[in-house]
Amino acid sequence: MDQLKAMEIFVEVARQRSFSAAGRHLGISRAVVSKHIMQLEAELGARLLHRSTREVSLTELGQAYLEPCSASVEHARQARLVVSQAGNELAGGIRIQAPNSFGSDWLADALARFTLLHPMLQPTLHVDDNLLDPFKHGFDLSIRVGGIPDSPGLHARRLAPCRGLLCASPAYLAEHGMPAHPTELNRHRCLHFSHLTQGNTWHFERDGETLAVDITPGFASNNGKVLHQAALRGLGIVYDTTFLAWRDLIEGNLVTVLPDWNLPLNDFTALYPATRKVSPKVRALIDFLVEEYQPVPEWDRALLATGLL
């Protein structure tokens, strides 16, 4: 048995409270998840999880095991990263383009830490919500949310999920009420991200039912942080993302609206030239970001830990 792999799977099952959901996040089948959990329990001589047809929950021993197990998994991830980067003499310029909010809130920190590992690098980070052509604008790496071009000259690699959600301030909801159904949004001020490819239509899904709701933006911007700030001020219901909203949701500054309805799930994707041999510094940076954000990025882990996702 690969005990470290089994521990990683156990931590994900504990977060998701589901074998199937954990498997989807890790890219493996439910049967493989179950096999590793049973092997881990046999190795430890203890039952870690209660199984039922509806939910998976931690036993008392499982709860006690989770924290040290999570720490061991994280330490192993960091150790792999150190080894993978050791001895790489990466140097010179590297130009990266990323969406404004993600670039400033998350990527900037990751890029700074990557540069500390490779002090001869000279990165340039350009943040812009426009879908810029990486070839035309001379980027070595472009990070996008959706809108991936069908181009034989580009390769794409998934970095992390980008989850949309609706939320509003408690003050706004106290004054205007909580909508019970997406069709009630036409009675609310909607804060709209103008770069949505669906125009002024918000799409919802629940239990196989799909619904498209045309909204009249009460406030619109091409920058997610602008809309997020407007929602904090009580201006209306915002089409937000978990990577922006997670902390304010946990602290109660924002409340999820229509939580039973799912918004379209996009991915953060790394685009890079489809040359025969990818630049070592580009490949190393992509590998670093994959380790950073997969299988579950920090912002979603925080929401899962508090039951808000």
Residue-wise pLDDT for 274-289, tens only, equals 665 678 899 999 999 9
- pLDDT of the residue at 12: 87
Grade residue 24 by pLDDT with cuts at 50, 70 and 90. confident
Query: pLDDT category, 256, cuts 50, 70, 90?
Result: very high
Task: Render pLDDT for 163-175 as a digit per residue (tens, 0 to 9).
Answer: 999 999 999 999 9
Confidence grade of residue 88 (pLDDT, cut at 50, 70, 90) = low
Looking at the domain that runs over 3-85, which CATH code has it been given?
1.10.10.10
User: CA of 91: how far to CAs of 112, 113, 117, 282, in Å?
Assistant: 14, 15, 11, 11
Instruction: Give alpha helix (H) positions in the chain.
Output: 3-16, 19-26, 30-44, 60-85, 100-102, 108-117, 170-176, 224-232, 242-251, 280-293, 298-305
Q: Is 167 strand, coil or helix?
A: strand
Count of CB atoms situated within 10 Å of the CB of 96: 22
Q: How far apart are CA 47 and CA 82, in angstroms?
A: 34
Provide the 8-state DSSP code for 264.
Answer: P
Residue of higher predicted confidence among 199 and 126: 126
pLDDT at residue 95 is higher than 80: yes
Q: Does domain 92-161+267-302 have CATH number 1.10.3720.10?
A: no
List the domain boundaries for the chain: 3-85, 92-161+267-302, 163-265
Q: Are 301 and 15 in contact (CB under 8 A)?
A: yes
Phi, psi of 255, rounded to the nearest 5 degrees: -125, 135
> Mind listing the pLDDT tens digit for each residue in 105-134?
999 999 999 999 999 999 999 998 777 767
Identical fold, 92-161+267-302 and 163-265: yes
Residue 144, beta-bridge partner list: 269
As a CATH number, domain 163-265 is 3.40.190.10
Instruction: Specify which residues 157 forms β-bridges with.
Output: 270
* Paired residues of 141 in beta bridges: 96
Q: Is 33 exposed, middle or buried (0-12, 13-18, 19+ CB in 10 A)?
A: buried
Global pTM? 0.70
- Read off φ and ψ for residue 65, nearest 5 degrees: -80, -25
* Per-residue pLDDT band at 150 (split at 50, 70, 90): low
